[in-house]
Each structure stands twice: as structure tokens, then as C-alpha cells.
Structure 1
Amino acid sequence: MKIGIVSPYLHAMSGGERYMLTIAEYLSRYHRVDIFWNDEKIKKLAREKLSIDITRTNIVPDTFFTRHNVFKNIAVSCQYDLIIFLSDGSIPVSFARKNILHFQRPFPSVKSSVLLALKLQRFQHVICNSSFTKQWIDRAYGVSSTVLYPPVPVEEFRAEKKKKQIISVGRFHPFKKQHILLTVFNALHTVLPRWKLVLAGGLLLQDADYFESLKHLAKGLPVTFLPNVSFDKLAGQYATSMLYWHAAGFGENEHTHPEAMEHFGITTVEAMASGCVPLVYEGGGQREIIEQGKSGFLWKTDDELIQQTIRLIKRPAVVRSVATYAVKRSKVFGQERFIHDVDSLMNNMT
């Protein structure tokens, strides 16, 4: 088969990119796979940032999310047996023989229309990264989507001797709420003076001001920033961190702004696979990962995060028990399960 992979966000090298490029890598073992992107360097970035090998794929000019007219899209798409799209909220025009549409996040402002319905008729499957995303996509687009949880390479993470260290991983962006975590850590620092905080994640040029504001908040605190960190170095930080924090969604209204929640939580699973105990904001897709008190902890207020952290640090036996179960739980979201789901999807293309 000749298969196309289309994503407007590959430069970010985050969760959605792991999802799409894992599909590309797997399918390229058996089919010709073209990735629609305008820079061959994406192969090197995928290896460095995500530890994904897409050398068997072909990088071809992007005709779908750049300034090309609809007739160009039709002409290009007609050449493919299957195209898999990551949506930015819009429904692309494709005349490939088969089409799959993937959503990584809710788009609550989308309104159904005759044109939207006509475009969707070209798609055999709509897939989402969580049940949380699915409920919003189904409502907005009038579809019945399938949940394929993201692939997490849990086998590439390990637990080592733990330090008095908390880690949080996510793109440096107000959406991820790193400023909230710094405020909480500042409050905890006087109670837990020997503990350190590591903030790691992707940093794009447009987020430089936010990143600088975080460094200002961290002045005088034992905080390490790791922007655009390599996969190997990040895995090493996970391995020695005892706790994992995540705050995306804090202070937002999930019912009116579901897009402000964490839509799944890949880094939460990565941390769990590394033997970190996760303490994450109770919103969005995180509820589908964490079993409260068993494989981690969910919190609603910054005070809850402070109190949960202090209680855990004072109870090392609980930390060991939850960390052990977190590792087991992480395997539910491993790449092997994802590949099995992709195979099932491909076998059910009608």
C-alpha cells in the first residue's frame, strides 16, 4: 500500500507527534509511507527527541496544511491507498482510497454543517487519544470515534536509585501550568529544603517569554530547567526522580474549555514506567491513567498537591508500593498494545 501521514505539528515533537510517527514507523515496515512535511530534518528530530526511527519513510512536500488549493489536495491524495490525518480542528479534503482522521484534543467550538458532514464521508475511521477527547469530538462532529490510547515506549524507561527530586515534563507553555508548580514548590521548599525540582520539555521560539518568566519565578530555588532535552537525558532524569507533578488544566473550567485539560498524559505514563509516583491534576484524560491511591494520586487544588506531596515523602513505604504498581500500570499504555490496535484498525478498513 501507498500510505500518507499528515500532521501540522511535527515541529513540536510532542505527544501528537509520537502518535503519528509511531504509526508511520510501524507501517513503513510493510508499506511505502510518505510523511507530508517540508523539511527532511524531521527524521533526525524524531530520533533525538522521541527515539523513533522513521528512516524507512519518505518526506514529501506538504500540500495539506500549506497554501495549496483544494484541487491540488485532490490530485495528490488520489495517488494514495490510505492517508492518516492529525486534525487541527478542520476536516481535510482527501480523495485517497481510504482515510483515517485522528483527534488529539477537543474542539468544542466546531459547529456541524452540511460541508463538514460531506467531508467526513470520505473517512472510514475517526480515532481519538482518550475517552475524554472522544466524548467531545463525537458531540462536535456527529461521529462515533474509536479510542486508540497513545503509544508510550515503556520498555525504554527504567527506575534507578531515587533522589529527593520531583520532575515535571511538558512543553514550556502556559497550557502546562509550570508557573503553578513553581509556586507550589516555593511553598514546599521551606518544609522540604533538600528536595529539587526538574522542569523538562519542548521549547518553541514563540514560548520564550513564558520560559523566561518561569526562570524568574525559580530564582533562589533548587530548580533545573531542561528545554528541548534529548530522549536519553530525559529518561535519565525520570529514572532518578521520586515524584512526578503535572498541572495542566488547573484553574480551568473543564465543561466550557475542555481543550485546556490534559487530553491524555503521555509524560505521566513515562514517569510511571520509570518508577515515579505521579501526582497530577484531576482533569481530562489523566483520570483514565491514574487509579487513585494505587498507581498515583489526583489533586484538584494546589493545597491538595502540597499536602499529598508531604504525606508521601513522610511515608516511604507507600511511595515504594505505589511506584511498583505504577510501573505495572504503565504497561497498559505500551507500544505493543498500540501496534495491536493499529493492526485491528487496518484490518477493519471498509
Structure 2
Amino acid sequence: MNVAVVHDWLTAKAGSERVLEQLLQLYPEADIFTVVDFMKEEERTFLSGHRIFTTFIQNLPFARKYYRSYLPLMPFAVEQLDLSSYDLVISSSHAVAKGIITGPNQLHISYVHSPIRYAWDLQHQYLKEAGLDKGLKGLFTKWLLHYMRLWDVRTANGVDLFVANSNFIKKRIKKAYGREAVVVYPPVAIEKFPLKSEKEDFYVTVSRMVPYKKMDVIVEAFTEMNGKRLVVIGDGPSNKKVKAKAGGNIEFLGYQPSHILRDYMQKAKAFIFAAEEDFGITLVEAQACGTPIIAFGKGGALEIVKGWEEPQATGIFFHEQTKEAIIEAVYKFEKCKDKFSPHLIRENALRFSSERFRKEMEQLIDEQLKG
């Protein structure tokens, strides 16, 4: 059986690339198709042994740095990839990968991290944050996103089975495409985040510094709670804006390698998370360390964290993305922090292991092939 795996783009090893890595372990002979491949040598060891095919965008001017600027060309580009010789096509898609063309005798399974976020329900938020909600440039961007939605819905017809990375994304797939999806949670390298029962007197938050992550709101909350130490790990466009709101009790470490990140996750008394995410891998990693979670109660967090009201709770939710809600949640946590069991918290994280992901995907694909 000839197998092809289609991935949006290969530029860095992040959450969606972890899914790709596990799919390649399932199908070690698979070929890879992607819009562009600019992944650094030190990150691409999991790709070795696989043939990689890219689109014409790979060779366009400044594509290495500004590949996202070629988004208007990406639907056309992926449609030019010839996958006609493959029996099984698996797309790993958060943008355009699912739009490849397949025939009636090919099985196309699409693992969806999300329908194109900035073209669907997050469009208005994206336009405001990018300063594109007004003016001629904004009008063109809105037209482009309208075109992307039309293309996105049309190409959904070429998918035989949708697999969502959470129930939250399952609902988004139903809204966008009118299609049902099966949920298979993404793989998390639990083994790289060992349990540590002894905690120290600080909180930690880990995120890319972009507006929707609400890092500024977390920082504002802890600035008001002057006696509580917060460690912030991550970098990004909003870095200066977030730092400007910080008090002396907040320590910014910027981007850190995985072993430093793990060390802080293991030692923190709790992990703070204020974004509405599709899934939320860092929530699983923190719990693997036995660290309780204080999280915004929407999106994937509701599927990863067991709230205080549930048996064997692993965290506390707040329900507004405001500093007041975070402050209230932190004080609530401190009143009952001794009731959280690091061992039970880690046990909850084991539900999202890489082995479980491979097993569920293999079973699902085998059922479709037999059907």
C-alpha cells in the first residue's frame, strides 16, 4: 500500500509536527507532501528516510522568511501536488493540507488541528489584532478570507473521514464543513516530563507572546498580587507590551530549551493558562509533572483538565479572560492546594500519550480500509 502524508508546511517542530512524527512512525515508508520545507537540520531527524515533495512556493522570493505571505497562492499550490499513485492519503491540516485532490479509489483521512482559524470564527479577532479591520488593505484581507472559506468548504468534500484533535475542534468542523468527525487527541511526549511531587513557591506560565494567548492579562493579575512570584517563559511579537505591564514579582525568561521548561513546570506550585485553545499541549505537559492547572475554562482545556468539582481534580477554572477572574482563581487555589495529588494529576496526563495516539489512529485507519 502506497501512503502519502500531507502537512501544511515544515518550518519548525511544534504541536502539529508531533502529530506528523507519530504518523510517520505508523507508516515508515510514507512520502511527505508540504507547501514548503524550511525546517532546521537539528529539528528534522524524524523526517529522515522519507521523500519530501514541496510546491512551487518553495522557490518563490523570500519564501523562507515570508512563506505565510503566500497564503493566497496556497490553495492553488496544494492542488498541483500529484498524489494519484497513493492508496492512502493522510492530511495533517490547520490551513490548506486537506485541500489536496484525491480520486474515488483513494482513502483520504484528514487529521484536523483546526479549520483555518483566521478565516472562520476567529476572523474578526484576527483582523482587529492585525490592524486590518478597516481601510482598503483590510477590505482586501476580508475578501481573501471569504475566498479561503469558499475553497475550504469545497475541499471538505474530498475528505473521506475527518479526525479532530478535540471535541472543541469537532464542533468547529461541524460548523465550518457540516461534517461529523471522530476525536483522537494529539500525542504528547509524557515520558519527557517526569513527575515531581515537591513544589516550590512560584507560579509558571509558558506561551508564545501573541495577543490571543492573553499573557498580558496573566501579568496584570500577578502584578496586583505583589507577594506572589510568577515565572513567564516564551517570546513573540507582544513581548514588550507584556513586559511593560509587569511588576517586580514577575520574572521573564524568554524562550527556553525543553530541559529548562521542564524544570520550571516540575517545580511550580501551579501552571497558569489564559488562552482559549483548540487543545493545549502545555497543559498536558505540566500535568505530567504533577503540577496543578489554573486555566481559562473554554476550548481544549475543558477536555484536558479535571476541574475542582470533578472527582480526582487536577486544576481550577476561571471563566473570564480578566485579571480579576485570574486573581480570584489563584486565591481559591491557595486555599485548597494541598488537596491536589501530584500522582493523580500525572495519571490524568497519561491519557494523551504518543502510544495511545498511534494505537487509536492505526485502529481507525484499519477500519476505514476494511470498510
- TM-score bracket, normalised by the shorter chain, equals 0.7 to 0.9
Tell me, what secondary structure is at the counterpart of 1:275? coil
| Contact 1:170/1:176 (8 A) holds in 2 | yes
Contact 1:111 1:140 in 2 (8 A): no
Distance (Å, rounded) in 2 between the aligned partners of 1:59 and 1:10: 10
Equivalent position to 1:93, from 76, 93, 100: 100
Asked if the contact 1:25–1:54 (Cα under 8 Å) also holds between the matched residues in 2, the reply is no
Matched residue, 2:358: 339
Does the 8 A contact of 2:3 with 2:87 survive in 1? Answer: yes
Query: Does 2:37 align with 1:54?
Result: no
- What is the TM-score when the length of structure 1 is the normalising length? 0.79
**Which of the numbers 272, 281, 285 marks the counterpart of 2:287?**
272
Structure 2 unaligned residues grouped into runs of 5+: 58-66, 124-145
CA distance in structure 2 between the partners assigned to 1:288 and 1:199 by the alignment: 24
**Residues 280-300 of structure 1: CA distance to partner in whole angstroms, max 9, x if unpaired?**
001112111222111211111
CA distance in 1 between partners of 2:84 and 2:109 (Å): 15
Determine the structure 1 residue equivalent to 2:64: none
Q: 1:230 to 1:305 in 2, by over 3 A?
A: same
- Point out where structure 1 has 5 or more consecutive residues left out of the alignment: 48-52, 249-260
Letter in 2 for 1:231: S
Instruction: Give the CA deviation at 1:38.
Output: 3.6
User: How far, CA to CA, are the matches of 1:162 and 1:35 in structure 2?
Assistant: 44
CA distance in 2, matches of 1:200, 1:77: 41
Matched, 1:77 2:83: yes
Give me the whole-angstrom Cα distance separating, in 2, the residues matched to 1:244 and 1:223. 15
The structural deviation recorded for 1:12 is 5.1
RMSD: 3.1
Greater relative contact order: 1 or 2 (C-alpha under 8 angstroms, separation 6 or more)?
A: 1
Match of 1:286 among 294, 301, 306: 301
Match of residue 141 from structure 2: none
What's the TM-score once normalised by structure 2's chain length?
A: 0.75
Q: Does 1:19 align with 2:38?
A: no
Give SS of 2:265's match. Answer: helix
- Over 3 Å counting, the alpha-carbon distance change for 1:226 and 1:22 in structure 2 is farther
Deviation at 1:39, TM superposition (A): 3.5
2:248 is matched with which residue: 197, 209, 220? 220
For the pair 1:149 / 2:185, whether they are aligned, the reply is: yes
Q: Distance in 2 between matches of 1:198 and 1:269?
A: 18
1:296-307 equivalences in 2 (<5 Å)? 296-301=315-320, 302-307=323-328
Candidates 164, 167, 171, aligned match of 1:131? 167
Aligned runs of 1:105-120 on 2, under 5 Å?
105=114, 107-108=120-121, 119-120=155-156
User: How does 1:153-192 map onto structure 2 within 5 Å?
Assistant: 153-160=189-196, 161-190=198-227, 192=228
Contact 1:6 1:84 in 2 (8 A): yes
Q: Which amino acid aligns with 1:340?
A: K
SS in 2 for 1:348: helix
Counterpart residue type for residue 276 of structure 1: T
- Measure, in 2, the Cα distance between the counterparts of 1:226 and 1:290: 26
**Residues 32, 57 of structure 1: 8 Å contact kept:** yes
SS in 1 for 2:327: helix
How many residue pairs get aligned? The number is 319
Of residues 69-78 and 4-13 in structure 1, the stretch that sits farther from structure 2 once superposed is 69-78
Q: Residue 198 of structure 1: CA displacement?
A: 2.3
Moved more, 125-134 or 305-314: 305-314
Which segment is superposed worse, 118-127 or 89-98? 89-98
